[in-house]
Amino acid sequence: MSSTSEPVRRVAIVGTGVIGAGWAAHFLARGLDVVATDPSPGAESRLRADVAAHWPTVTRVGLAEDASPDRLAFTADLETAVGQADFVQENGPEREDVKQALFAALDAAARPETVIASSSSGLAATAIARDCAAHPERVLIGHPFNPPHLIPLVEVVPGERTGEEAVARALDFYTAVGKKPIRVRREVPGHIANRLQAALWREAYSLVDRGVATVRDIDTAIAHGPGLRWALLGPFANQHLSGGRGGIAHILEHLGPPTEAWWRDLGDPSLTPELTAKLVAGVDDALDGIGVDELADRRDALLHALLALKAAADLP
């Protein structure tokens, strides 16, 4: 990989589903040129419609100078899309074999100095880069949180052959476009945030399965309880506040033994057809006819307001 680092001006989006479209809108809003590619029939028209639908939201967040959806180009040819890109953001199917073949093609087509990042929510960069023969040192995970045009978090996860320069470039790039990137220090399935979510889902599913609570009750408990605090500070900072003047040291001494007892009582559910049906029915009941699009619009409006307040408060 070249030792020179030029600013990123042109991003290639590979795969234009929900995540790819969100990334495209975000990069366009930051004033970048975006060239997208996707072999699916009708992909270009769907992408342009999705970007248009996201544009009012990214406009409220704030546009960079010269930001425009007109800077979006589309090609069905993978090599054309990535050949002149300064950064590649891949968003293909979450299948290891598919990504291995795709990344071999991306590695062969992209310029040697171009970082190739995967949005994979749980796969390892080491596995994805297995068949990259040219420059595997520039392959890594750049996992966003949905919706990527609003949520700042990006998990940067290097693989065994990823170079430090590629990691630094990815962290710098994501920071420059307004993200909050973190470096994952060790490859584990699901990275960090998804593992934390999975731990919560595991117990939530178990509580429903055991008849302790309904889906509506659990969503209410989180959205109107700890979720409000988690939106402002992370779990450790919140524990520190819970300890009063003694901080986290006091809370660990005071609630540590009970917490260990709770851990031992946590459930270990299986997603049986019966439990799956119960969860689906519970969500339908809790939403009471609110459609997915309306729910997403309400969420995004509140996210925008919350992010603005967080930015002004400069919380850690």
The answer on 198 and 178 residing in a single domain is no
The answer on 294 and 267 residing in a single domain is yes
The answer on 212 and 63 residing in a single domain is no
- Answer yes or no: is 280 within a domain: yes
The answer on 156 and 71 residing in a single domain is yes
**133-167 confidence digits (pLDDT tens):** 999 999 999 999 999 999 999 999 999 999 999 99
The answer on 218 and 117 residing in a single domain is no
Q: Which CA distances in Å does 206 have to 215, 236, 277?
A: 11, 25, 14
- DSSP-derived secondary structure for the chain: --S--PPP-EEEEE--SHHHHHHHHHHHHTT-EEEEE--STTHHHHHHHHHHHHHHHHHHH-PPTT--GGGEEE-S-HHHHHHT-SEEEE---S-HHHHHHHHHHHHHHS-TT-EEEE--SS--HHHHTTT--S-GGGEEEEEE-SSTTT--EEEEEE-TT--HHHHHHHHHHHHHTT-EEEE-SS--TTTTHHHHHHHHHHHHHHHHHTTS--HHHHHHHHHTTHHHHHTTS-HHHHHHHHTGGGHHHHHHHHHHHHHHHHHHH-------HHHHHHHHHHHHHHHTT--HHHHHHHHHHHHHHHHHHHHHHT--
Query: What average pLDDT does the structure give for the chain?
Result: 96
Domain of residue 49: give its range. 10-183
Q: Residue range 4-11: average pLDDT?
A: 85
| CB distance 63 to 71 below 8 Å | no
Looking at 157, 183, 209, the residue that finishes a domain is 183
8: buried, middle or exposed (CB in 10 Å: 19+, 13-18, 0-12)? buried
- Answer yes or no: is 54 within a domain: yes
Q: What is the pLDDT of residue 31?
A: 98
**157-197 confidence digits (pLDDT tens):** 999 999 999 999 999 999 999 999 999 999 999 999 999 99
Q: What CATH number does the domain containing 258 carry?
A: 1.10.1040.10
Query: What pLDDT band is residue 295 in, cutting at 50, 70 and 90?
Result: very high
Give dist(CA 87, CA 34) in Å, integer. 10
Tokens of 248: 């986290």
- Answer yes or no: is 1 within a domain: no
Q: Against a cut of 0.85, is the pTM above it?
A: yes
Looking at 183, 214, 233, the residue that finishes a domain is 183
The answer on 218 and 119 residing in a single domain is no
- Answer yes or no: is 2 within a domain: no
Total tally of structural domains belonging to the chain: 2
- Answer yes or no: is 249 within a domain: yes
245: buried, middle or exposed (CB in 10 Å: 19+, 13-18, 0-12)? exposed
Looking at 129, 158, 183, the residue that finishes a domain is 183
The answer on 226 and 158 residing in a single domain is no
The answer on 129 and 169 residing in a single domain is yes
Give dist(CA 20, CA 38) in Å, integer. 10
- Answer yes or no: is 77 within a domain: yes
The answer on 135 and 22 residing in a single domain is yes
Residue whose token pair is 């889902």: 201
- Answer yes or no: is 237 within a domain: yes
Q: What is the pLDDT of residue 314?
A: 82
Query: What pLDDT band is residue 219 in, cutting at 50, 70 and 90?
Result: very high
Query: What pLDDT band is residue 18 in, cutting at 50, 70 and 90?
Result: very high
Give dist(CA 181, CA 179) in Å, integer. 6
- Answer yes or no: is 124 within a domain: yes
The answer on 168 and 205 residing in a single domain is no
The answer on 218 and 141 residing in a single domain is no
